[in-house]
Structure 1
Amino acid sequence: MIASFADPGQRTAPAPFGHALARLAEQDARIVGLSADLAKYTDMHVFRDAHPQRFFQMGMAEQTMLGAAAGMAEVGLVPFASTYSVFATRRAYDFLCLDIAEPNLNVNVVGALPGLTTGYGPSHQATEDLAILRGCPNLTIVDPCDAVDIEQAVPQLAAAPGPTYLRLLRGNVPSVLDEYDYRFQLGKAAELRTGRDVVLISTGLMTMRALQAAQRLEADSVDVAVLHVPTVKPLDREAVLAAARTDRLVVTLENHTVVGGLAESVASTLAFAGVGTRVVPIALPDEFLAAGALPTLHDRYGLSTDAIVQRVRAELGGTPRPTRPGAAQPTVPPTA
C-alpha cells in the first residue's frame, strides 16, 4: 500500500512520473530508466512495462545504480535513476557528487518519499535531502507540487545539460496547478495568487497546502499571495526578492527540515540583497520524526492546512507589521 497525502475526494492522477517518462521515451530513443529494486514504489514500473529493453534493474545497490547511470550518460544516453530519497542522498552521495555532478553529466536522479510523505519513520523519511544536495555544484533540484508539475518537468529535466534531482510524488498524486493557468519552467517561480497582506513562498506539496490555506484565510478577509518555487536550486532570486520587498508578512512553506532548505535559501537571498524582511518558516523540526499515519504526522509537525492557517493567523495577530517596504523585523529562532 502506497500512502497518499491527497485529501479525500481530491482529483488525482496515477503515477504521473512513470507515464511522463514512458511518453518521453517514445519520442527520444536516448531515454533509459534504472531502479534500485524499487520500480513499483517509484512509479518506474510504468516505464519498465512500456520499454523493457531500456530498463535496468540494479538491485539494492544505489551506488552501483548511480555509477552505471553516469556511464550511460557518458556515451550519450539520458538516464533517469530512481530510488528512495534517503538512499539517493544519505547512501550514495559520493557517487552522485563525483561520478555525476563533477563531470556535469545529464543524469536525472529521482527520489521518492521526500520529506514527510511516509509514516515509516526516520529510516525512510528524507527530511534533510535538500540540505544535503543544495551544496553540490552543478546539480539542479526540483520539488514539484503535483501531477501537473511532474508531467511538465520530466521533459525539461531530460533536456537540461547537467544533473538533476527530482523529489518524487508517487502513486495517486493530486492535480492542482492546472486550475491556475500554470506552466512549469525549470529555474522559475510562479505567482499563483496575488494578495496584499501575506505572501506564502512554497515548494513541493506545500504549495497545494498554501493554496488551500489562502482560500481559508479569505474568509477572515486576509488577502494571501502564493509564490510557487518548484526549482529549489537554482533559486529564482528575482521572484523571491520581488515577493519580499513589500510590507506583507512573508512565510515560507516546505516539506523539509527547517535547516538547509527553502526557508534558509530565501532568508539568505534577502540578507545578501540587503533586504531586512522577517521570514516566518513553516517546515519540519530539526529532529528525527515519528512513525504513524500521514494526516496525524502532518498535523503534529505543522504541515497540514489547519496548522498553516493557525500559524498565519497567530503571526498576523501577534507580530507587529512593518510600516514600509523592507522594514526590519525582529528575529526569531527558526522553529517549524
Structure 2
Amino acid sequence: MSEAANPDVSVLSLEPVRARKPDWLRVRAPTSVGFAETRALMRRLKLNTVCEEAACPNIGECWSQKHATVMILGETCTRACAFCNVKTGMPGPVDLLEPMHVAEAAGALGLEHIVITSVDRDDLPDGGAGQFVKVINELRKHAPNTTIEILTPDFRNKAKRAVEMIVDAGPDVYNHNLETVPRLYPTIRPGARYYHSLRLLDQVKALSSQVFTKSGLMVGLGETPLELHQVFDDMRSAGVDFLTCGQYLQPTPRHAKVIEFVPPATFAAYAAVARSKGFLQVAASPLTRSSYHAGKDFAEMKAKRVAALG
C-alpha cells in the first residue's frame, strides 16, 4: 500500500491511498464568530454555497472572513461526477427570488469580489444560463462596486446562446473548470466532454477579450505530469488567463479514490511550468480551490494585464 505522506510516491501508481491525510492538508475546524455569522446569513436568505455542499476544506478560513461562494439553481445536480459531493437527482423549480437574495448577501457581507457557481441543470432548456444573467444584473444594480466571477457548468447539449447571454451580461471573470486530464474523463467526469469544455472557454474569450477566463484542475487522481502540461497548453490555446490547481480529496467512500497526495513542492513545480506557458495568474497548492482567495487573485491578475498593456 502506498504511504500517503511520502512525497516520493509515484504519480503513476494505481494503488488507492488509504492512509491519513498528510500534515499539509490538515485544517482547523471552523469555530469563529465570522463563520457563524456567514452561515446564519446564508440560512436566512435561503442560499446554497458550494463551500458546504462540496465539503470545501477552506470553509473555516473563508467564512470567518465572510467570503462565501454562492451556488445558485438549487442544491441538486443532474450529473453524477465521481469527485463531487453535491447530491444528484431531479432538481426543484428555479427560485425566482434567488438573484435578489444573492445581491443582498453581497451587500451584507461587504464583498469586493463575489464568486457565483451552480449545479448542472440539464433539465432546463438553457441549462440555467438565464439565472446567471439575472444574478449578474441584480449584483450590478445593488452592489455596483463588487466585481463578479462566475463558475458555470458546461451547458452541454444546450444552445450556443447559453454562453453568449452570460458573456453579454458582463461578468468580470468567467470560470469553467476542466477538472482533470482527458484520459480520466470517462471515470471522473462521465457526463462531460473534455473538448466541449475547452471550446466553451475558447468561445468566451472569442466573445469578449475583456472578460478574464479561468479554469481549474484537481491532481492526485492518477494523472501524469506530462498530461497536466498538455492541459496547460490546451488552456493557453483557448486563451485562459488564470489556472487553479489543487489536491483532490475523496468526499465519501463511494467517490473516486485518491491515488496520490501530491506534496507542496510538486505544486510549486506545476505552477512554475504553468507560468512559463503564459498564464496571467496561477494558484497551485494542495488546498487551492476555484474560489479560494479569488478576490485577491483577481486584483493581481487585473494589475498584471494593465502592466502588460503598458
Fold match by TM threshold 0.5:
no
TM range (shorter): 0.3 to 0.5
Name which one, 1 or 2, has greater alpha-carbon Rg.
1
